[in-house]
Structure 1
Amino acid sequence: MPDGYRSLPRRALGRAARDYRGAVLAYRQRRADQRMRRMLDGRFTIELLAGEVHEEDLAVVVCLWNRRERLADVIRLLRDQRVDRHLRLVLWNNQPDDEAHYRRVIAEVGVGGALRSIEFRASPENIGGIGRFWAARKLRLAGYRGPFVMLDDDQDVEPDFIRSLLERSGERVIAGVWAYANHGSYWNRTDLADRERADYVGTGGCVCDSEIVVGDAFFTDLPERYRFLEDIWMSFLAARLGWRLEKADLPVTFVLDETNQNHTLAYIKDEFYAYLHHDHTGPTDA
């Protein structure tokens, strides 16, 4: 019997295996596309756990990740803010194991002072800081307009912090305490004076026009490899769209720095910077 004839079943089996793998990958991609569409359409829940939301309240969005002891302090810092409008704290929890703890803390500490409401999203997995922007997208679809503030749960701020940030807010503006001028790479950077124009603004301790999440590209064009580098992505996209990025020289104290997941991402930050500024044209529909 010719060798070619004997090998036919093996080739057929190989084709079947490739077809099966292709079908599995296509199925997974369809599921991922469906999940993305649901998120883009705001078909996920953010629960109101304390107080009540008013249309004029300023949203303060905080991601929670492995700092369970910090939530009570964050709530008290916001209650103590000296600001002309009430605040609504929107929490995006990336650590499912801590959900019950956070719910207890919210029930025990509650609202008061400048803080009028606390909302909570229990993410089924850690999606990183992009959760801040999914929360902002949800608010925007519900009618929210104007700036929103982003804080990290490892930041202590003074009572005038949010009021001072709001003085720097505006249409198509991002202003934050963690802001730099870049010189050809992410790590080749210099600090700036207050209100000086920046190339990069970090998400922790910043005020951002909620218009940033209107275009789907903010979410769909962020490469999977870099999905935890939402700060670099936000800065690149905003600058490309002609927004103003600037330094807000305001006092902030960082605590529990050893728990910062950015330490594990340092090695790809410059890679992502190069990808955006040298190898990739970036999104166009935001």
Structure 2
Amino acid sequence: MNEHISTESEKAKNSFISRYTSKWHSHTGENDIQVGIFSYHVWSTLGWHDIKQRYRRSVLGPFWFTLSTLILVGVLGILYSELLNQNIEDYLPYLGIGLVLWQYISTCINEGSNTFISYGYIMKQARMPITTHVMRVVWRNFIILLHSLPVVIILMLAFGHNVTLKFLWVIPGLTIIFLNTIWISIVLSILCTRFRDILPIVTNIIQVAFFFTPIMWSKELLKDRAWAADINPFHHMIEVVRAPILGADIEPLSWIFSCALTVIGFIFAHFLMVKCRDRVPYWL
């Protein structure tokens, strides 16, 4: 009986591997995103390799990024809490979480825009879903986020804040941010490969967007102009993670906006992938 169950299990496993291998070698623009995302054993390994190579022979490794963030948060927190007349115990965690999340989003967008150009040599030599290269970039930056965010949370606890049950909403919040950075990187990587002038435009937009996003300042300071934050997609992406960490209620608008952005974004990314995927190698 056990041998029969084992045989059936082995057949199911081999059948799954066979179907997956078939998709890996016969992917098209229709299923490139799906196959690329589920090829986690590829992009997760490549992402870890990038982290190791970037911080090779370094004592602190990727924690240099965390240390730089803490220094930046400390300096800006003390400065702007005085300039904006904010309580530093509340302002420093608010600023720290916002900065860490913004650095993840902005880095994914900037590096994601250049993904196909950077890994063109691989795309010309190996047939694999081009989404895999995007996932590699997003994943390695997500790793940095995951070891930087806890440090800021510890800083928050040191200032007397408590972690509540609302903290559990961080998990779906991080998932939403992760998914959004995937489709944004896919879209921009295709467009920037075709039109190289878009790359510096994206870089400049991200620099300007930082000052229009409630990171160093809060939405409440806008008063009757709060609509400026409500139409900012980066604000909602940050808020679905920052609010539960700080123990605050997430505005329903932030969840609706972020989820809608994810769905619409992947639809648009799929459309571009179907139309342009086979042309990308010729644009490199």
Please state which band the TM-score falls in when normalised by the shorter chain.
under 0.3
Higher helix share: 2
Higher strand share: 1
TM value normalised by structure 1: 0.28
TM value normalised by structure 2: 0.28
